[in-house]
Amino acid sequence: MDLPQIGYFIVLSRVLNFTHAARECRVTQPAFSRSIKRLEWELGGDLLLRERSLTQLTEFGRSMLPLLEQVKAAADLARDEARHLQSRDSAPLRLGLSPWLAFPLIGAILSEVIASIRSMEFTIAVEAETVMRERMLRGELDVFVGLQADTLPERFNQWHLFSTGASVFLPQNHRLACEESIISTNLAEATLLGASEPEALPERILSQIARRVGRRPSTPHRAGNWETSLQLVRTGLGLGLGLSCWPTPAELVARALSEPVVEYDVVVETLAGRPQSRAATAFVKLARASAWTYAPDVP
Amino acid sequence: MPLNETLDALRAKMTSQAAAAFEEVMQRLDSRLLADNALKTGDVMPGFELPNAEGKLVSSVELLRRGVLIVTFYRGSWCPYCMVTLQALDAMLTPVLERKASLVALSPETGGRAQFVKSKYGLHYELLADVDNAVAAQFGVLVRLPPRYRRLLLSRGIEAETLHGGAGWFVPVPSTFVVAPNGIVVHAEIHVDFTRRTELETLPQALRALWQNE
């Protein structure tokens, strides 16, 4: 299939009239119809229901539309990007990072974007995930890297980067440090660190532990992000609950939470249909292409 | 052994299920239409900037600055015909490429699969992640795998969403383009029959012809 064909179908799906769509695409109607027929053949099904006065998308057409829109958007973006390969125009990247993802995780990708795009202007926001998704919708952020949400607003594009388990972070001299991994019942009497946001990662892990041990372990102290949480572990305020992909500071140890087995998906998100700068596009492409050290099952 | 003889030997080992899926691909994909859609000799290659296996961005502008560029599209790490071809390209072209030319192989696979293929087969050239098939679409070599073929891949645990980050089952048709430093395509080969590839001798020949004209 080629890009004009895909473009014709996207216009037709909007206006649902062959004559008007052909006019909008500036081709004759026979050429337009042939092109759509050819696309149907190549995709292996009827995209449209053609009735005398009514043109409608078939179920197959409805299922193919977002996929073809994605191909078209990616190609348009690449074409636009190619035009700016040698330009020095400013390329903003306004990135939102979950407070529960360690910055070093994206450090190498960011360095590569900076090295390739000298005119990049970088802004990073680290706030509660719900706040950042709202900021995306308001157009204040271009890209968000965070944990997969249970529900996502329709306008978001989301790509899975890798999955990671949960770990307990504890001082080297703690009695549980000699365990290979930790199960919920080990934590029933421990003081654990909670989070200042009810939906934040440590709270999600805590609710899983509470379900297993029948009550919530003691959590008198709460942190707002991964780094502070580890600082609180260092000062002896409790054991930290976090992701196995967090870097472990020298004086602490990380032990995988092996029961219950919990897994979190780390995703990158953009807002569909919003034009992206070259830096933002490059960041998303590099993130999606990356092997991610924490993805053990590649390929 | 010539590449296509090795590929023929692989094809001879196809299961009956795979052979039926292969026949469906041959019926469904029209080689004339594809050749119509794809870049041809004399066309200007669309520029691109894609991540390589090492997580660096590689741009066509930089590659063309170095000299002639060979762009080859492969379907993915799951395609044994592609893997044989990538290794054969490495053996044939690595000594030639040192002289002012580059080879890049593109597939829509993400999640570190380019790195996996490159290190598994010890390849010396760039493997690029054509995220969302943006470049394949511009080269006009993008197709959707037909239903029987999709079922075959699914039965082997090969799933588009995981491999590409998108559910469309879009892949490039195996194809190779030789591009002069001015960005003009000087040689194009497209293979609807994924068990056949550019016979490798044609590539050094095309390169030599370009160098003679410099």
| CATH code (residue B170) | 3.40.30.10
- Residue A218's beta-bridge partner residues? A191
ipTM of the complex: 0.89
Q: Does A298 score more than 50 pLDDT?
A: no
Burial class of A120 by CB neighbour count within 10 A (0 to 12, 13 to 18, 19+) = buried
What average pLDDT does range A69-85 have in this prediction?
83
CATH match of A91-162+265-289 with 3.40.190.10? yes
Q: E strands along A61-208, which residues?
A: 91-97, 120-125, 143-147, 156-171, 181-183, 191-195
Confidence of residue A88 (pLDDT cuts 50, 70, 90): low
Confidence of residue A295 (pLDDT cuts 50, 70, 90): very low
Of A52-66, A159-173, B21-35, minimum mean pLDDT range = B21-35
- The CATH class of the A164-262 domain is alpha beta
CB contact under 8 A, A290 and B163: no
Confidence class for position A89, pLDDT limits 50, 70, 90 = low
Enumerate the residues of chain B whose CB falls inside 8 A of the CB of residue A116. 49, 56-57, 59
Mean pLDDT of A236-247: 95
> Which A residues 153-172 touch B at CB under 8 Å?
159-162
- Distance between CA atoms of A269 and A281, rounded to whole angstroms? 11
> How big is the CA angle at A66 (ends A27 and A298), to the nearest 5 degrees?
130
Chain A residues within an 8 Å CB radius of B132: 70-71, 73-74
pLDDT tens for each residue of B49-104: 999 999 999 999 999 998 999 999 999 999 999 999 999 999 888 877 776 889 99
Q: Do B144 and A3 touch (CB under 8 A)?
A: no
Q: Does the CB of A285 have a partner CB in chain B at under 8 Å?
A: yes
**Domain regions of chain A by residue span:** 3-83, 91-162+265-289, 164-262
Place of tokens 């009956």: B16
Question: What is A3-83's CATH number?
Answer: 1.10.10.10
- A75, B29: Cβ pair inside 8 Å? no
Average pLDDT of chain A to the nearest whole number: 90
Distance CA B17, CA B106 (A): 28
Domain that holds residue B209: 3-213
Q: How many domains does chain B have?
A: 1
Q: How far is residue B134's CA from residue B149's CA, in Å, rounded to a whole number?
A: 23
State the pLDDT at residue B167.
79
Residue A136 pLDDT more than 70?
A: yes
Tell me the nearest-neighbour CA distance from B161 into chain A, angstroms. Answer: 10
